[in-house]
Each structure stands twice: as C-alpha cells, then as structure tokens.
Amino acid sequence: MKDLLAEIWESIRRNKLRTALTGFAVAWGIFMLIVLLGAGNGLMNAFNQQGEQFASNTMVVYGGVTSQPANGYEAGRYIQLNNNDISITQSALFSENVDEVGATMYSGPYVLVLNGRHVSTYLVGCYPNMKNMNKIELICGRFINPLDMQMERKSLVLSASHASQLLNGGEDYESLLGKSVSFGGNSWMVVGVYKTDKSAQRVEEYVPMPTLQVLTNELNRVGQINFSFHGLATEEDNNQFEARYRAAINKAHKAAPDDQSSIWIWNRFTQNMQMNKGTSILRKALWVLGILTLIGGIVGVSNIMLITVKERTREFGVRKAIGASPWEIMKLILAESVSITAFFGYVGMFLGMVACEVMKMTVGQSSVEFFGESIRLFVNPTVGLDVAIGVTIVLVIAGTLAGLSPAMKAAKIRPIQALNET
C-alpha cells in the first residue's frame, strides 16, 4: 500500500499543472452542484414558508369590478360583498364541499390607548374560524369565539408587537388580559395576544365581525369571505367548483355568470399545487445543471488518465516484462484516478458547504418589499450533510469508472510493443 501511494504521489508530482487543472474541474463541479442545490432549497423554503402561513384547503373571496354589461348594468361596476353572499356560501348549493364559512372586514386606522400610551393600528372584524384558516398562533388568552359574535362583544385580540408597545417594551402579555383598551370612542377588553408575523408590513388587531359592523354602521358590508372545503382533490375539480360558486355570487349581484373580474377567488389549494409543480421543476433543473457541471470534471479525469497511460507505456511494458500482472497495472491507474477524484471532490464539497453557510448568513437574512409586504427570497439556503456526502461518494464511484477504460488499456499493453514505443 505504501509503495502504491508513493507511485501515485510521484505521478502527480511529475504532472502538477495537469493534475491541478483536472482537480479544479472536479472540485468546481461538486462545488457548483452543492451551491445550486443550496440556493434552490433556500428559494423553495421561502415559497413553502409563505404557503404555510395559511391552511391549504381554504378559499378567500374578494369583491371585484365587472368586466361586461349584464342585467341592464354597464361594465365597470364594483361588487361589494355582503351578508347575503355569506348565506349563499353556507347554503345547500355548496354544502357538499364547503365546511366552515367566515368573513372579514377591515377598518381604520385607529389609535389604541392604554395608560397614556398610544399605538396606531387597523382592526379586522372576523369570525372564530379565522384563527385556523390563517394559522394565527396565540401567545396567551383566547381568540374570538361564537359568544363574542352572538352578543356583539367588544373583545379584542392584540398583536404581540403592539402589546409590547403598550407595555413600554415589555413582554408580560398576560398582564393585558382582561384590561380595557380605548379607541374609536369605545372601550374594548383584551381577550388574547397573538404572535406577530415579522414578515408583514402592517400589523392588525382582531375583533368580532358583527361588533365592528355595528360600530362602523356598515351592517351589510363584508370585505372578504373565507371558507374551508373538502372533496376537491384535483385542479379540474377546483376549477369546476369555482365556476359554480362565481356564477352564484354573480347572479346575486346581477352580474354575468361567467364574469371573471366581478369577484376574485384566491384558492390556496390550487396555489399550493402550482407552487409544488414549480418547485419540482426547479429542483430537477438545478440537479441537471449541477450534474452536467460534474460530468465535465469526470471527463477531465478520464482524459488525464488516458494521457498518463500513453506517457507511461514503456514503463508499463517493463513492469509486465518483469512479471507485473494486468491487475497490478490496472490497480495503479484506478488508484490514481480515485485519489484525484476523492481529494478534489471533498475539497469541492467543503467549499460548497462553506458557500451555503455564507449565503445563509447574508442573502438568507435579507428580504424585499413586494406589494407592501416584506418577503424573504431565501430561507435556510443550505444542503444537508447527508446529501453532500452522498454526492461526493457518487463522484468517487464515477471517478473509478472514469479511470476504468484507461486502466484496461494499460493492462492490455504487450511488453514488446511497449518497449518499442518512442
């Protein structure tokens, strides 16, 4: 083994530049593969994080503007959702698929006042199911409940960031439970504090929908309708349901049944389906690009081994003439091929992992403003150690195969022909 390593070292030492260039190609290939996979993972994690903010089997309906004339009305009419639209959503027309139905309306800005401290905010009138649909995480207390809705209570669920401001930077949120907060000329009782989404630009407080309708004197106004559903497993099923639902709401507002602009439907289920398709395509594309780069390094290893065999033809002839077996010749070439591939492969793997960590600490912590919201483009852009080691092991196996053809060629050299080589 010692003699074999010495011979490999001597061969590499005699061809420093060629070995270095080949090794660079191998290291660069695995480096790029790991960096591409890390960047892809960061991008997909960011997409998934945005999608995980909401329950996937939910739809949100917004009022829109009609795009065609119908029932004596011209195009361009704004559709304001109302309580009747909630009743339609809850009706037998859609009971086969619709589960829980809720609604929201926004109002503000208001100024919360507690113990002389002021915080500017907006109110969201909502139903109890908003908590599950939007995955609102409570820190303490409770969310809006059916009794709040029925009795039109002035119950308030505070955001953690505004609660902290009212506490002068403190985090003793439980001390706020049961306390009265003043705004809009009314006194509201704090019943809960929820965890604030740091990526959101505007932070809001939740109150019972009927209470906000009464206080704003807009008893029949609805900003959005939210509902969860089941039994719509494919994109075609969802499209058919949306068409039926749109036609029913449009009919109630005397709009054309097929008017796509009169109401807007945000289907989180089909959005996730499309997002999953996109991330799957992206992942495959990154693997293809990385593997093609890697193949370039493997081809380089094969080429340098072929050149090595040609340069050492006479040496191999002498070895065979004094009794060296074909396997011993093959072993020498294969060992050199594996050594180059393994060493530079692990160098590339290490540098790739370092680059991913650098990405995580730089671009992985940054965000961009998009339609008024702060969104992170990369979340944890790294590659698991198991994936990196697995790719490197595959690279070493590929390096062995790359050296196989040159090794077989060296093993077939006949001593007399080799000694005649110039």
Question: Is residue 46 predicted with pLDDT exceeding 80?
Answer: no
Quick check: 364 pLDDT over 50?
yes
pLDDT digits (tens, 9 = 90+) for 56-86: 788 999 999 999 998 888 999 999 999 999 9
Q: Does 155 have pLDDT greater than 90? A: yes
Q: Which residue intervals of 15-145 are DSSP H helices?
A: 16-51, 83-90, 130-133
Question: Would you say residue 148 has pLDDT above 70?
Answer: yes
Between residues 367 and 301, the one the model is more confident about: 301
Q: Which residue has the higher pLDDT, 333 or 195?
A: 195
How far apart (Å, rounded) are the C-alpha atoms in residues 335 and 341?
A: 10
Assign 312 a pLDDT band (cuts: 50, 70, 90): low
Range with lowest mean pLDDT among 39-43, 204-208, 243-247 = 39-43
DSSP-assigned letters across all residues of 268-305: HHHHHHHHHHHHHHHHHHHHHHHHHHHHHHHHHHHHHH
Are the CB atoms for 198 and 164 separated by under 8 Å?
Answer: no
pLDDT tier for residue 371 given thresholds of 50, 70 and 90: very low
pLDDT > 50? residue 406: yes
Q: Is the pLDDT of residue 356 over 60?
A: yes
201 vs 204 pLDDT, higher one: 204
Give the pLDDT mean for 260-278: 84
Span of 60-74, 122-136, 182-196, 265-279 with lowest mean pLDDT: 265-279
pLDDT greater than 90 at residue 153: yes
Choose from 2-16, 264-278, 331-345 the range with maximum mean pLDDT.
264-278
82 vs 278: which has the higher pLDDT = 82
Q: Does residue 220 sit in helix, strand or coil?
A: coil
Q: Please tell me the predicted confidence (pLDDT) of residue 378.
A: 67
For range 194-213, the mean pLDDT = 82
pLDDT value at residue 104: 93
pLDDT for position 142: 95
Percentage, residues of the chain above pLDDT 70: 82
Cα-based distances in Å from 345 to 97, 334, 381, 384: 54, 16, 21, 16
Of 130-139, 350-359, 381-390, 404-413, which gets the smallest average pLDDT?
Answer: 404-413
Residue 370 φ/ψ, nearest 5 degrees: -140, 110
Say whether pTM exceeds 0.85.
no
The greatest distance separating any two alpha carbons of the chain, rounded to the nearest whole angstrom, comes to 107
**Residue 77 confidence (pLDDT):** 92
Lowest mean pLDDT among 341-345, 367-371, 386-390, 396-400: 367-371
Which of 131-140, 169-178, 330-339 bottoms out in mean pLDDT, i.e. has the lowest?
330-339
Using CA atoms, how far residue 86 sits from 149, 151, 256, 269, 315, in Å, is 15, 19, 19, 20, 88
Residue 26, Ramachandran bin (φ over 0: left; ψ between -120 and 50: alpha; else beta): alpha
* 219-249 per-position pLDDT tens digit: 899 999 999 998 888 889 999 999 999 999 9
Mean pLDDT of the chain: 81
Q: Which residues contact 93 (CB under 8 A, 6 or more apart)?
A: 244, 248
**What is the mean pLDDT of the segment spanning 102-120?**
88
Rounded distance, CA 273 to CA 258, Å?
Answer: 24
